[in-house]
Amino acid sequence: MTLTSEEQQPAPANGGGRFLDVRDLKVHFPTDDGLVKSVDGLSFHVERGRTLGIVGESGSGKSVTSLSVMGLHKRGAAKISGEILVDGQDVVASSDEEVRRMRGKRMAMIFQDPLSAMHPYYTVGDQIIEAYRIHNDVSKKKARTHAIEMLDRVGIPEPDRRVDAYPHQYSGGMRQRAMIAMALSCDPDLLIADEPTTALDVTVQAQILDLIRDLQREFNSAVIIITHDLGVVAELADDILVMYAGRSVEYGTAEQIFNEPEHPYTWGLLGSMPRFDRERSTRLLPIQGSPPSLINVPEGCPFHPRCRFEQNTRGLAKRERPELVDTGRGHFVACHMSQAQRQQIWRDEIKPKL
């Protein structure tokens, strides 16, 4: 069993209420090949003004989690259980119509590829106006003024002219800015950014991340940033959730995850990250093997076939799934090795190589 009780989770840093509280979320897709357990018992929470980074490889369940929070899974196709409390209202238990009313206003989303995520036949302005008018009963003219303001706010030059351009007339970075303007047009309390910089130029990536951070401060919203890029998380996140095979393997503050990571998978992720402050010749340390099929998740610890330290558990990792346990100070780790052992390996073996 994973965490369900309040005490087991990291305490919110600012003492405020949890704006988003996900409890024991399971998202399963029945397919012809078997049951795909994309998310299998996940719990986390975000407060207003805080940023949670969710990291993990492709297929670890990051995007499925975010779509569940938005209530965007088809009722028939996905079997969802657990609780997703957005400001106290449970998305899982609410009706389609109730969730629709929440979308865009309570929670909004920025997608990975802004070119395919914006409708090619409508102007950027029309798409922002449409988003704004769903939740605000205003005239088209007022909404247009608002759209121009939003475009200006996200740093689009000549917004009063650009508002009438089509997405294909924007550059990649501008499209993502427009996408952010659209998502923020109704002043949402929770913003989910699903790989917001993956499709962008490296030079533009930093600008977009800065923009998200600035806007978060301005609107005091809760932000979830989903990525496989630890650099992005290092830039933005207050808290980090490391996902593997639809589960959380490590969860703590950004300082804890970067400075004293305790899970072998997190070590692997850190080792795979290129660093500017190292010699060019230093090789990266990739994680061997590939992520497991979500239909046949390995028994025991799902990471054990790829784990270099599996023998330290004397076979326990092959048999039993490790619980996500608080090691103190709100740092959660799901690993069979003892904390002393993990800290020792990190200190002596891993850290010097990074």
Partner 1 sequence: MVAYLIRRLLATIGLLFVVSVITFSIFFLVPKWAGATPDSMATRYVGRTATADVVHQTAVRLGFTDPFYVQYADWAKGLVAGRDFDMGTSIEHCPAPCLGYSFITAQPVLPDLLDRFTVTFSLAIGAAVIWVTAGISIGVLSALKRGSLVDRFSMVIALAGVSMPIFWTGLIALSFFSYRWGITAVGGAYTPFTQNPALWAWDLMLPWVTLALLFSAQYARLTRAGMLETMNEDYIRTARAKGLRERTVVTKHGLRGALTPLLTIFGLDFGLLIGGAVLTESAFGLNGLGKYAVDGIRANDLPKILGVTLFAALFVVIANLIVDLLYAVVDPRVRTK
Interface positions with partner 1 (CB under 8 A): 70, 72, 96, 100-105, 108-109, 111, 113, 116-121, 123, 130-131, 134-135, 166, 168, 182-183, 186
Considering only CA atoms, which of 213, 173, 167 is closest in space to residue 197?
Answer: 173
**8 Å CB contact between 24 and 82:** yes
Q: Which is nearer to partner 1, 98 or 299 (CB)?
A: 98
d(C-alpha 120, C-alpha 167), whole Å? 6
3-state DSSP call for residue 242? strand
Residue 109 beta carbon to partner 1: minimum distance, rounded to whole angstroms: 5
- The angle subtended at Cα 243 by Cα 204 and Cα 218, nearest 5°, is 45
Q: Which is nearer to partner 1, 132 or 332 (CB)?
A: 132
Q: Which is nearer to partner 1, 5 or 95 (CB)?
A: 95
d(C-alpha 106, C-alpha 69), whole Å? 11
Residue 209 beta carbon to partner 1: minimum distance, rounded to whole angstroms: 21
Residue 106 beta carbon to partner 1: minimum distance, rounded to whole angstroms: 9
The H or E element that residue 227 is part of is strand 222-227
Q: Which is nearer to partner 1, 212 or 254 (CB)?
A: 212
Residue 22 beta carbon to partner 1: minimum distance, rounded to whole angstroms: 18
- 37, two tokens: 């357990």
Residue 177 beta carbon to partner 1: minimum distance, rounded to whole angstroms: 15
Considering only CA atoms, which of 301, 298, 323, 326 is closest in space to residue 311?
Answer: 301
Q: Which is nearer to partner 1, 140 or 278 (CB)?
A: 140
Bridge-based pairing state of the strands 325-326 and 18-31:
unpaired
- How many residues can be counted in the chain? 354
